[in-house]
Every structure is written in C-alpha cells, then in structure tokens.
Chain A
C-alpha cells in the first residue's frame, strides 16, 4: 500500500505559496474543503488564482479568503451570494472569469484525464466564445476550451483511506472527483479517515492514484445555504 496519509492540515498544505493557482471542490457551501480553506486563511497566502464553481458567502467558504484579500482571480460559473466579492469585483481588486458550469467541470476533467482541450457546444455564439477557436462537427458549432493548469486541488470527501481512496456523500460530491488529479498536487480532506482494507473496493468513487495527500479534517461545520423544508401534515 502506498500511503498518502499526512498528519494534519499543515503537512497537507506544504509547498503552498503566494500567487499559485488552486482548485476548490464544492457546490455552494456543500462539499467544500473547509479545513484547507481555514488553514489558507491562517497562513495568509496571497495573490491566489482560484478555480471553484462558487465563491462562498461573506463569512464562510472562499468568502473567508476574500475577506483577507487573498484572492486575485476567481474562475467560477456562479457567484454573488457574497457582498465582499461584489465589492472587490466592482472596484477591480478581484478579476472574475465566468464560465459555463459544464465547461468548468470538463476543464477539470480534461486536466485529470490528460486531454489538452475539449470541444463543447456551451457558449457558442455568446461572449464566452469570443476569441476562442470554434469548429463545426456534424453541422453543429463547438468552442475549444483548454484544460485547467493548477498547482493544488483541494477536495473534500466523506470517507477515505490511507491509500487515498475516496467515497463522497450526496450532492457534496459535485466537482470534487473531477478535480482529483487535475492539479500538480491533490489534497483530499475527509470526515472519516479509515485504515486500508476497510472500504469496499467496489464502492470507491476516486482511486487513491489521483490523490497525493489525505488527512482527516478536524471539524466540519457543513453550513446550509438555503434551508428549505416542508410542513408535516
């Protein structure tokens, strides 16, 4: 067994430097790498270029890095649940690149899978396709989108083992599996880190080969962004 286990979040983030490009898993606040984000806030890394579907809320998720003005650029599909984000974007402090959600997922997956680029129909004929190569296949137009290049991918899973094998839960899965192995170093944090041999190989969502470092997060708040319920009859 090749062990990917590191002792703690400090060890997991070894090599993190200013001005790097990071990927963050999560959709809204669901399935975000809470412990890696908290540690990045603590060490105060600056000039970050972040690839993440969303940008958190003012006091949680990537919003915490925005509060500390640690992010220079966000590449996302949907933002704006966040006043500080809006302020920094409008003042020009923060560069924002908005791209279609499926394109974001596929640019991660392409990086993971060794494809330099992919053709997608999303965004053809819109400002998203401006300046990009386009090509016709079977009478339909597609836009060429490049694989992301990132230094670290921070992902969060439900369970993992020391070999780096990961199992996700519910819709907290989202972009996390697509970012595994899509950056030079993939850091996975899990709610529960179990010894090898405990997880059923049939149930593994992401094999450990895509993960460089794994640690058990100390604490998960798992905040709910929109609490919607129905009344009991």
Chain B
C-alpha cells in the first residue's frame, strides 16, 4: 500500500517532457517533488503564474507571489504572471496538458465529486469545475477508500458533482486505474496489494484483464 508521497511518486511518472501541468491542493502538490529532472515541465497555478518554483528561502517571501493554495512561492527562469481570465483561458482552451487533482468520489463513468459535502461547511469549488470540464488529460490522486473504509471508486457519485465523465485515470494508494466506457480498468497494483484486495475496495465496475503488474516506483 502506498502513502501520499507514494501516490505522488507514481503520478509523477505520467508527467512527460514538454508538459504544462496544473496541480491541485493536497497529494497533487507533492507530484512536483518527484518529476524527473531530465525533462522540461512547467507548473501552472490558476491564480496566475506559469513556471512555478519551490517555496522561497526564509526571509524572501513575497506577498505578491503566491500559488492557488495562497502559499508563498518562487518562480523559475521563463516564468510569467497573468490575470485570472487569461489563466482560465489556458485551462478552458486546453493549453494545459495535464491536470492532477484530488477527489472525494470518482464514478465508473468518470464523474468526479470533490467540492461539497451536504450539511458540512461548503468552501467552494475554486477552479476545480473549470479544470475538470476542460482538461483533456485528468488524473485523480486519492485514497482508494475513505476513513470509514468505504470505497471512493463508485458506480455513481453520491456527493454533488464537480464534473461529468471527465476523469481519465485514477491513482490511489492501492492501484492505477483507467476510466473506460465499461468501468475502471485495473492497470497496476501497489506493492503488497493483491487484485483481490482491490476488488474488495472498489464498488464501481472493475475490469481485470490478464495479469496485473505491480507498480514500478
């Protein structure tokens, strides 16, 4: 079974040379730490920066340079700043190659729910609805089950949706799955996780085709 860093490490392998990538808050943010350093990748943050770098050294924080999580950041050579409409033009216009975000639930048809739990304080969708409605390549990073042990890979989302039929791939602490028109196709399993374990933890339709390899991370 993987931890959050393990999930990030596996997703980092999906990032290819020349990609513009938008990372959501939480596990997705960790992906930046594991991207190979022999490829060129630029990270976009929807509040208006392309070419995000690491956190600043202490004493060098700038209130005018933050990411979408409102954290102080730095920029790398070649970076640019832009307004919010331009930022979402990059997203909606499909100029961003890969979007990685977290989810509370994913359905077997690619629906995603990650912004609202009825009855609980609703903070809002931020840029998530724009991202999932537009991105061609969306990878969800999440735990396979919730804290109560219930599956987060469902036949149908029970929570209010963020987007419909948009998720292409899911990487969890247990498996890598592709969303196909027949359901979740199991591609890889995490170290020390059996196909049987994954079956038990997946409520949605699970397609197991032949031998399922262990993740190489």
> Per a CB cutoff under 8 Å, which of B54, B55, B62, B126 touches A77?
B126
> Per a CB cutoff under 8 Å, which of B69, B83, B121, B134 touches A122?
B134
Q: Is A213 engaged at the interface, CB distance under 8 Å to the other chain?
A: no
Interchain CB contact under 8 A, B133 and A121: yes
Interchain CB contact under 8 A, A125 and B127: no
Q: Is A223 engaged at the interface, CB distance under 8 Å to the other chain?
A: yes
- Place the interface of chain A in its size category: 35 or more
Residue among B61, B68, B130 with most chain A CB within 10 A: B130
- List the one stretch of A1-9, A43-51, A78-86, A194-202 in contact with chain B: A78-86
Instruction: Given the known inter-chain contacts A125-B161, A170-B62, please indicate yes or no for A80 contacting B123, CB distance below 8 A.
Output: yes
Residue among A77, A80, A124 with most chain B CB within 10 A: A77
Q: Is B191 engaged at the interface, CB distance under 8 Å to the other chain?
A: no
> Per a CB cutoff under 8 Å, which of B68, B72, B130, B160 touches A229?
B72
**B interface residues, tally (CB under 8 Å):** 51
Secondary structure at the A interface, as helix, strand, loop or mixed, is loop
A76: nearest residue on chain B (CB-CB)? B124
- List the one stretch of A13-21, A63-71, A94-102, A146-154 in contact with chain B: A94-102
Cα(A92)–Cα(B48), bound, Å: 33
Cα(A176)–Cα(B86), bound, Å: 12
Least distance between A92 CB and chain B CB atoms (Å):
14
Interchain CB contact under 8 A, B84 and A125: no
> Per a CB cutoff under 8 Å, which of B49, B70, B161 touches A226?
B70
B65: nearest residue on chain A (CB-CB)? A170
> Per a CB cutoff under 8 Å, which of A27, A99, A122, A229 touches B55?
A229
Which residues from chain B contact A128 at a C-beta distance below 8 Å? 125, 129
Cα(A223)–Cα(B66), bound, Å: 12
- List the one stretch of B7-15, B87-95, B143-151 in contact with chain A: B87-95
Which residues from chain B contact A98 at a C-beta distance below 8 Å? 122, 124-125
- Provide 20 A-B residue pairs closer than 8 Å at the C-beta atoms, listed in order of the A residue: A27-B68, A27-B70, A30-B70, A31-B64, A102-B84, A102-B85, A102-B87, A102-B88, A105-B87, A106-B88, A121-B92, A125-B111, A126-B164, A127-B161, A170-B49, A171-B49, A174-B48, A226-B66, A229-B57, A230-B57
